[in-house]
Amino acid sequence: MSNLTDTKKTNMEKAGLVCFYLGLLVEILIVILDKSSWINPAEGQLFRLTFLLFALKVCMTKYSLREWAAILLAGVIAAACYFGSGRDEAVRVVVFVVSMKGVDHKKAMKTVFWGTIAGMLVLAGLAFAGILGEVYDATAGYGVKEGTTRLCLGVGNANALACMVWALMTLGIYLYHEAMKLWHYAFLLVLTVLTYLATVTRTALLVMAATVLLAFVMQYGKKIRTAKWVYFGGIAAILGGVIFSVYAAYVSDWYCYMPDWVGKLDHVLTGRIVGIYAFENGGGVLENWKLFGDPTYIEYFDMGYVRLFFWYGIVPGICAVLMLCLLIWQCRKQQDYMGFVLILSFGVYTVIEAHAVSVYIARNYVLLLLGAYWPYMLWTGKKKGPEREAYWWRFRALFGASH
């Protein structure tokens, strides 16, 4: 009887993994289709399909009582966000993250990495063949002269290409850093320069270079990667970026006086601060932020944290930032120092770009780390797993309860 039960459990786990990876592959496909010049008329239906697949994985996974409590809390906040903003991304993200329990996150990340690269190569091939999309982007942008030839390889525009190169490079470092040598880092710096020359995107140049250098320091600086101050510094950088974003949303309002230094900084940021309010309703200015969003707020602009609070609301935004900070600290506990590099790279980049704040789950690689580590973040008192609930027993001991 026990063997039969174990067999059923194994079969259910396998079925759950099949559902998860099918959903993940469809999410990758959605991202590739979004990057192409083709308008996907079935995007909403595909989102419903992936939600169903991840939900099936949740139904086939065993969770502890504490985990169910965390799931319920996250679900309530996500539901409030949905009813307040009319956006279902928060609900989809919660189900996706929860469904990753029992999934080898590195295998999932490799699926995203190679699946996205394959999709990008297909788009490039279609562009070169003249079937879909353009090879070059000749449109002007902030700080880019009219007629400047910029490479886009079928993904719509040069900025989008540079953003995808950065994201894939960051994910690649995370996945394969253990095999990387000095010449690999030198190659990535060359790739960074080539990406800038091809796309004329200064933001990508700076973030890619910073990511490569930070990864190099963390890999070869054994004392640095274990030091608490490094992770506290990363958390401080994230919070500093959020505070700056709040201030930018405040001063971007045309009713407010923008100080000279902010105007100069906005020029360096190629108009991102001014771009927050360039809409009839004032866009993402601070006075438009609501506790759980508003269905009329649909405007797109670059600054990621501003978009996060504007689209989804103040409460979900605070929760997202808090989880980002807790995840950084969890990476220290797990000795996952390259996870820290990935999170910090995405966290800093989100200040000025909204790549990770979108309806596309497979574009935000931090969600894969959150899916891997969320069970260990429930105050279990153990670095490597949720099995031992040390803090709970200490609490009970204070009142004289025995084990």
Q: In 3-state terms, what secondary structure has residue 150?
A: strand
**Nearby residues of 34 by Cβ (< 8 Å), 6 or more positions away:** 40, 43, 360
CA 153 distance to own-chain centroid: 23
Name the packing angle between helices 65-85 and 89-99 (round to 10°): 160
- β-bridge mates for residue 80, sequence order: none
Q: 212 to each of 113, 165, 309, how far by Cα in Å?
A: 17, 13, 29
Place of tokens 């065993």: 62
pTM of the model: 0.89
Q: Which residues of 8-44 are buried (b: 16+ CB within 10 A; e: fewer)?
A: eeeeeeeebbebbbbbbbebbbbbbbbbbeeeeeeee
Alpha helices in 60-157 (DSSP H): 65-85, 89-99, 105-128
In order along its 403 residues, the chain shows pLDDT tens digits of 455 455 556 888 889 999 999 999 999 999 999 999 888 899 999 999 999 999 999 999 999 999 999 999 999 999 999 999 999 999 999 999 999 999 999 999 999 999 999 999 999 999 999 999 899 886 655 555 555 788 999 898 899 999 999 999 999 999 999 999 999 999 999 999 999 999 998 888 899 999 999 999 999 998 999 999 999 999 999 999 999 999 999 887 755 567 888 878 888 888 888 888 878 778 888 989 999 999 998 888 899 999 999 999 999 999 999 999 999 999 999 999 999 999 999 999 999 999 999 999 999 999 999 999 999 998 654 444 444 444 444 444 444 544 3
**Nearby residues of 37 by Cβ (< 8 Å), 6 or more positions away:** 132, 133, 134, 154, 156
Residue 300 DSSP label: -
Q: In 3-state terms, what secondary structure has residue 137?
A: strand
CA 304 distance to own-chain centroid: 11
d(CA 316, CA 313): 6
Q: Please count the CA atoms within 13 angstroms of the CA of 170 that sit on its side-chain side.
A: 29
Torsion angle (degrees, nearest 10) of CA 366, 348, 356, 54: 20
